[in-house]
């Protein structure tokens, strides 16, 4: 079955690292995505990782993929107040035409 799980809330202090976790159930995932949603806005694509990779780094963002455990994480280094938002993990499956399955989103709160 298809299921993507995320914890609902995370609170960190400005300057600390944030780690947002996601687990998924479908082993036929091809790409896994992280989207960011600020209040009143749509979803902004942050980064994605192909399922045959285990790490991807993009400036302050590091994505780690443990395919064996079906676990995806997003690490934000030097978290800023502007990073406060809801972060969605999503997976797509090659056998479903790239249909995206989203988690419920993790609300990141960054305190000064």
* Separation CA 110–CA 68 (nearest Å): 31
User: Smaller CB distance to other proteins: residue 76 or 101?
Assistant: 101
Give me the least distance between CB of 41 and other proteins, in Å please.
Answer: 5
Q: How far is CA 111 from CA 12, 14, 41, 64, 79, in A?
A: 6, 6, 21, 25, 10
- Could you list the residues that contact other proteins (CB under 8 A)? 4, 30-31, 33, 35, 40-45, 48, 88, 92, 94, 97-105
Query: At its nearest, how many Å lie between other proteins and the CB of residue 62?
Result: 19
CB of 96 to other proteins, least distance (A): 9
Of residues 3 and 78, the one with the C-beta less far from other proteins: 3
CA distance readout (Å), 109 to 34, 49, 79: 17, 24, 10
């Amino acid at each position: 079955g298809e299921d993507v799980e995320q914890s609902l809330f995370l609170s960190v202090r400005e300057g600390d690292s944030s780690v947002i976790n996601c687990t998924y159930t479908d082993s036929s995932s091809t790409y896994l995505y992280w989207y960011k949603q600020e209040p009143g806005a749509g979803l902004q694509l942050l980064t994605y990782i192909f399922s045959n990779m285990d790490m991807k780094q993009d400036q302050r963002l590091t994505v780690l993929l443990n395919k064996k455990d079906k676990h995806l994480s997003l690490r934000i280094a030097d978290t800023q107040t502007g990073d406060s938002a809801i972060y969605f993990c999503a997976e797509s499956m090659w056998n479903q035409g790239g249909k995206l399955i989203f988690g419920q989103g993790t609300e990141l709160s960054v305190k000064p």
